[in-house]
Structure 1
Amino acid sequence: MDHTEFNDSVGNLSEGVYAGLPIAPVPDEEDAEIPAAGGTAWRLSVETYDAEETFEEQFTRFMEKVDTTAVKAIIIGEWEDAYEESSARIIRLLADNAARFPELRSLFLGAMAGEECEISWIQQGDVTPLLEAFPKLERLEVRGGSGLELRPVRHENLKVLRFESGGLPAGVARAAGESDLPALEYLEIWLGVEQYGGDTTVADLQGLLSGERLPALRHLGLQDSEAQDEIAAAVAGAPVVARLESLALSMGMLTDTGAEALLSGQPLTHLKRLDLHHHYLSDAMVERVREALPGVEIDLSDQEDIENDWRYVAVSE
């Protein structure tokens, strides 16, 4: 797997591509020419505000107009009143109709832009039924942390798991660490801030950092955190790091303290890529990091003002 494909999922969507497939909306009733079902990433989305049709109505039209037995990728965008109505009914709709989608491999739940619904306003639910209903799923991505739940699960085929949030509930991090995911290669978590429900601590990440249930993991992203220094210190001694090809501790409030802990820990020279973008490192520490890892591709872009007492993560509200 080429992990660079997943470094900017939002960018991929904005370019009209998801999971390597061109994105298309659900056909209208009058549409005569319909893209190949298996060669398209299908986006299902209704207006968050004053929707003219319900999500269920669009989903029914999707199943009527498209050969769902060939569908490989689905993007769930907006649903009605997503800022106060959870995704539970969307999840149930997908799970109840799983037999109609035997080839589904990629699923993005909550792919909304900020003007549609801010990330921390999106009301999510328990996403475990998606993993239980789609045993062949290889890629699951979820945007929004409010109300988000996950229960420990075993899934034989999942390769990519991403949680984008402005505040990740601790239970989700713990459940991910308690899940048996033997095929998982890419794990990315945006931890966010306490103000928006991000109560995940380093202790909640221990299951992930041990790597015991993630034997195939090659990329780990623990990002967008107020406690990025503490996370960096934990990663410095984490068993999972030795098998990684790429590591992301970006988007958060990483300072020289965290970078020092990272450089003082286990060797990172085996990494192909280290992503630290959006950070609060001094110029001197930036140079130290580069000098310490000469063979590693390092992203140290978005250097924030370390003299500014007001610091922030890249994504919160």
Structure 2
Amino acid sequence: MPTITSLHIYPIKSCAGIAVTEATLTSAGLRHQQTNDREWMVVDATGRFLTQRDYPQMALIVPTLYAEGMRLTAPGMTALEVTFALSAPNPIPVTVWDDNLIAHDCGDAVAAWFSAIIGDACRLVHFDATSKRLASKKWTGGRDVPTLFADGYPILLASQASLDDLNQKLVLQGRSALPMNRFRPNIVIDGVEAFEEDFVETFSAGNVQLQPVKPCPRCPIPSIDQATGKHGPDPLDILQTYRVNPKVDGGITFGMNTILLEGEGEVLRVGQEIAMELAF
């Protein structure tokens, strides 16, 4: 039976993730302690989101969570405390892809800290709970599925077997195997065949039901070493030989964008067994 082998949340979009032993399911993604996945985001002076696509050093910004917020560390920088209260009174407009919404600015001191790391003027913002951002109904079966600052869907699921398959191909080419963090999933499962997650109708665990809805087209971020914040080696040339997917206009896919059908408030745990129903 498939088993959850790791759970990850990314408090700040495109910054380092946190491996957790358990996480609470919400319709907008995973939550740990008081923090949701992609609840914070770095934006430029116009309010547009920034990512590792252009600033790979964002991988080196590492959050540690506590009840009131998070502590951030980065090489060569004094640690920074960011609390929920810090952003409460400062609404500003921001943009994530084609979505325009309101977020809360975390102030000049935090902006200076991030700007020093990134090398360009930028600011940290916190998601406004009154804002509404939905995943594409084209893939959710017409359901209203909320998401915060994730690229488009609340949960990304991948399997260890899929990574093992890729790594076998990389090694045959004389290249190094890659860790799963290159693909930044929320849920990693084992006990399935390589890329079997592509063909699953639902995953179930007790009162929880998850539905993979869209193959995840990969951008250049898997080429960034999450431990160094530098490019290379890039697995996309190997993936391109067998993972081009016509369902997403020929995008190179790895992992499945997933939504919560049932189980709001339930807890997933590493080691937990899950049942799956195939889509055919």
Flag whether TM exceeds 0.5 (same fold): no
Structure having the higher helix fraction is: 1
Q: TM-score range with shorter-chain normalisation?
A: under 0.3
TM-score normalized with structure 1 length: 0.23
Task: Answer 1 or 2: which has greater strand percent.
Answer: 2
